Structure 1
Amino acid sequence: MKKVLITGSNGLLGQHLIPLFLQDGQYEVIATGRGANRFPKKDNYVYETANLRDAGSVKRLVDKYQPDIIIHSGAMSQVDDCEKNKDACWDTNVGATRYLVHAAESCNAFFIFLSTDFVFDGLQGPYSEDDPVNPINYYGTSKVAAERLVMNSKLNWAIVRTVLVYGVVADPQRSNMITWVKNNLQQGKKVKVVDDQWRTPTLCHDLAKGCLLIANKQATGLFNISGDETLTPYDMAVKTAAYFNLDASLIEKISSKTLAQPAARPAKTGLVINKAAQELGYKPHNFAEGLDIVAAEIK
């Protein structure tokens, strides 16, 4: 059995990685996050609270378990929070990655790092793995810096870039695009949604599966793991309303320029997933199928 350490295990991706790796049958899972374990299923894996912003905490965790694989999905990913709290963003996204890479080198773990389409400026999307990075916000800047730490390490590594991940997390405080639209429309509330940003939205199950495919093959290098349909958030909202038979006239189309958000957003990203399809056999669900899966989980 190989030991896999999953950081950020309380997050959306983390909560999908745990059952998937357990189900695969060839992994012992060690999950880590801040605070208590918020994943409802507590059987057949170990959970450890760790502060990844502390080098000693990271070293103790890795020394204790000596993982064969580390999947680093823990991050500060709220883009506006990163812009407003740059020190916290840097410590969480870059400092923690540095400590994990350093600890991983001591036990020669295979390192899978989760990154983002926000490493790009959004002028030329969709992007392939070979396109040059050029972030336009601090979140993207921190992820580029963390990617470079991984690339320049002595480890065997894979970097997984993804886009606008959606799915259901066992934490009522957290919503995503689909649940947010659904809940508001069900209450008869209007929602404002931008129609001038293009993405390839990613079902969380697909992202988790992509990570498992990489782990199983120990595939190295950069991989784009996302959906393959280019949609705006407005498109997603309208499709969500139609799926749940809700009133789409409550959805107001707006320009991102009217939002005055602290962090700039790239206009057109989206990722080209040909490499993942060819090298890993990765095949994502389309958005309609994704809605089916999310609807079943909400129930």
Structure 2
Amino acid sequence: MKRILVTGSNGLLGQKITEKVLAEGRVKLITTSVGANRYPVKAGYEYAEMDILNPEQVKAVIEKYRPDSVIHTAALTNVDACEANKDLCNRLNVDSVATLLSVCEEKNIQLIHLSTDFVFDGKNGPYREEDAVNPVSYYGESKVMAEVLIRNSKANYAILRTILVYGISHDMSRSNIVLWAKAALEKASPINVVNDQWRMPTLAEDLAEACLLAVERDARGIYHISGEDYMSIADLVRKVADYWKLDHSFINEISSASLNQPAKRPEKTGFVLDKAIKDLGYNPHSFEEGLLVLEQQMAG
């Protein structure tokens, strides 16, 4: 059985990988994050504190546990925060990758790196893996820099790009668009939603499954991982309203420009998923099926 080490395991994706491994076995799991383990179940895997900004600690932890694969989920993903603090963005999204690469190359460990649709400019999505990157934000730029480092390395790697991940984490410390829209509409709070950005939202469970498939199939290269349903952000929020029978009249459609966000967003992303379906056996939920998964989890 392969041993995998996950960075950023307190985050949504990290928690979903833990959940999956505990339910299904498949691999031996070591989870790592800054500070204490926030996942409620503590048995069935090992946990180590690891700050990806501390190269000595990263090296020591990986040498201690000797994983076959590292799944690197830790990153600064707040697009406006990356624009405002480029130094921190660089350290978390680029320098951490360089640290992991040096250890993975030396120890012959597969690196599975999470990237984003924001590497594209959004002019002509949905995109294939080989399409030219052209980020419009510093977050996207940092992710391109990390991809270049990885592709120029001698490491065995798989880069999994993904889009607008949604799901429920145990401590609910961070929201996502589905939970935000549902909570606001349940309170009958008016919300502004952009109608000129198109995405293919990704259920966190599907992304966790793709990570494990990439380990099991010893995947190499770049893979596009998302849901299959292509929609505008306004459509997405309307679908959330429909699913939970909430009032549409609180949804106020606006243009991206009117938000005056520090970082620019790509207009139309979305992915062609053929490669992941063929090579990895990836089989995502539909958006409605994803909402059912969330509903069942909320019901406990």
TM-score (norm 2): 0.97
Q: SS at 1:290's partner residue?
A: helix
AA of the residue aligned to 1:88: L
Q: Secondary structure at the match of 1:47?
A: strand
- Structure 1 unpaired stretches of 5+: none
Quote the Cα distance in structure 2 between the aligned partners of 1:241 and 1:291. Answer: 11
Deviation at 1:19, TM superposition (A): 2.2
Identity %: 48
* Superposed CA offset, 1:97-150 (max 9, x none): 100111112211111000000000111111000101111111011011111111
State the 1:288 CA deviation: 0.7
Hey, what does 1:297 align to over in structure 2?
Answer: 297
SS of the counterpart of 2:231?
coil
C-alpha distance in 2 between matches for 1:235 and 1:41: 36
Q: Name whichever of 217-226 and 165-174 sits farther off.
A: 165-174
CA distance in 1, matches of 2:219, 2:262: 37
Tell me, in whole angstroms, the C-alpha distance in 2 between the residues paired with 1:52 and 1:178. Answer: 29
Task: Report if aligned partners of 1:67, 1:107 keep a CA contact under 8 Å in 2.
Answer: no
Residue number in structure 2 paired with 1:280:
280
Q: 1:69 aligned to 2:97?
A: no
1:243 maps onto 2:225 in alignment: no
The count of residues paired between Structure 1 and Structure 2 equals: 299
Structure 2 residue 153 is matched with structure 1 residue 161 = no
Q: Per-residue CA shift, 1:200-238, capped at 9, x if unaligned?
A: 111111111111111111011110010111111111111
Report the counterpart of residue 181 of structure 1 in structure 2. 181
Deviations 1:37-96 (A, max 9, x none): 111121111111111111111111111111111000110000000000100000000001
Matches within 5 A, 1:1-299: 1-299=1-299
Q: Contact 1:122/1:267 (CA < 8 Å) preserved in 2?
A: yes
SS at match of 2:17: helix
The letter for the 2-side match of 1:227 is G
Residue 282 of structure 1 and its aligned partner are, at CA, apart by 1.0
Q: Deviations over 1:228-264 (max 9, x none)?
A: 1111111111111111111111111111110000100
Residues of 1 paired with 2:173 and 2:25: CA distance? 32
Q: Secondary structure of the equivalent of 1:224?
A: strand
* Deviation readout 1:262-294 (Å, 9 max, x if unpaired): 100000001110111111111111111111001
* One-letter amino acid matched to 1:187: K
Deviation digits for residues 138-171 of structure 1 (CA, Å, limit 9, x no counterpart): 1011011111111111111100000001111112
* Whole-Å separation in 2 of the counterparts to 1:210 and 1:276: 8
Give the SS at the match of 1:192. strand
- Hey, what's the Cα distance between the residues in 2 that align with 1:106 and 1:2? 18
Measure, in 1, the Cα distance between the counterparts of 2:46 and 2:111: 19
Q: 1: distance between equivalents of 2:199 and 2:285?
A: 15
Q: Which amino acid aligns with 1:217?
A: R
- Aligned AA for 2:101? V
Runs of 5+ consecutive residues of structure 2 not aligned to the other structure: none
Give the Cα separation in 1 of the matches to 2:67 and 2:174: 30
- Mapped partners of 1:196, 1:35: distance in 2: 39
CA distance in 1, matches of 2:34, 2:261: 27
CA distance in 2, matches of 1:173, 1:21: 22
Aligned amino acid, residue 291 of structure 2: L
